[in-house]
Amino acid sequence: MARIPVIRKKEDLPAESQAAYEAIVGTRGEIQGPFTLLLHSPQIAERAAHLGAYLRFESPIDPKAATLAILTVGRELDCEHIWSVHSGHARKFGVTEEAIRAIRAGDASSGLTPEEAQIVGYVEALLRSHRVTEGTFRAMLQRFGVKGLVELTATIGYFCMLACTLNAFELKPPPDSDQLGSGG
C-alpha cells in the first residue's frame, strides 16, 4: 500500500484534472506506476508523461541501451518498482539474464559486455559521484554522439525523478514481479 492514495480511475480526479489523466492514458494505455501518484499534481503528471513518452517510445537511443541505464538507476536508487517493470523490458530488448544479475548485484565487472559495462558505469558514476571522468565522457560521446548522450543522460535523470517519487510514497511493485532483492 502506498503512503498516499493511488489514482487509477479518471473519476478519482476533479473534472478540471481529468484531461491530464486522458493525456497519459493516450500515450500509455492506462494509468500505472508513478503516474498513480503523480496525478495528485496533474500538471506534473502530464508533463512528466510527455517527456517519458518521448524518452521511452520515440528517442532514437537503442532500447537495450536505454533499458540498461534504467535498470541501473533502479538498482542505484533501490527502486523496487522500476526494477520490477524494467527487468521485463530488458529481457524483451535482448539484455541477458547474466547482465541483469550483474546489475542487480551492483557488479558491473562481471556478466556484462564492454558495451553494457560502459553504460552501467556511466550511470553509476553520475549517481554515486555526480560526475563522470573525462575518459568516460569522451567514450560515451564517441559512442552515442552529442544528441544521443544528451538523451541517454536525460533518460537517467527522468528515471531518477520517478524513482524518488516511487520510493518516497512507497509504491510497491506487484508481488509476483521480478524483485530487486530477490535475485530473479
Whether 46 maps to a domain, the answer reads yes
φ, ψ (nearest 5 deg) of residue 157:
-65, -40
Q: Do 26 and 93 belong together in one domain?
A: no
Q: Do 53 and 36 belong together in one domain?
A: yes
Q: Do 151 and 89 belong together in one domain?
A: yes
Collect all residues with Cβ–Cβ distance below 8 Å to 71 and sequence separation of at least 6. 82, 83, 86, 87, 90, 95, 100, 103
Q: Do 36 and 114 belong together in one domain?
A: no
Diameter of the chain by CA atoms? 52
Whether 103 maps to a domain, the answer reads yes
User: What range defines the domain where residue 30 resides?
Assistant: 10-58
How confident is the model at residue 94, as a pLDDT? 93
Q: Do 95 and 116 belong together in one domain?
A: yes
pTM tops 0.85: yes
Q: Do 46 and 91 belong together in one domain?
A: no
Whether 4 maps to a domain, the answer reads no
Number of structural domains (the chain) is 2
Whether 175 maps to a domain, the answer reads no
How confident is the model at residue 107, as a pLDDT? 79
Whether 110 maps to a domain, the answer reads yes
How confident is the model at residue 113, as a pLDDT? 92
Q: Do 115 and 150 belong together in one domain?
A: yes
Q: Do 33 and 80 belong together in one domain?
A: no
How confident is the model at residue 27, as a pLDDT? 86
Q: Helix H segments across 77-133? A: 80-92, 97-105, 114-128
How confident is the model at residue 78, as a pLDDT? 96
Residues 140-166: pLDDT tens digits? 999 999 999 999 999 999 999 999 999
How confident is the model at residue 182, as a pLDDT? 54
Whether 81 maps to a domain, the answer reads yes
Q: Which residues of the chain have pLDDT under 50?
A: 184
Q: Do 73 and 103 belong together in one domain?
A: yes
Q: Do 76 and 158 belong together in one domain?
A: yes
Q: Do 106 and 30 belong together in one domain?
A: no
CATH number at residue 129: 1.20.1290.10
How confident is the model at residue 28, as a pLDDT? 87
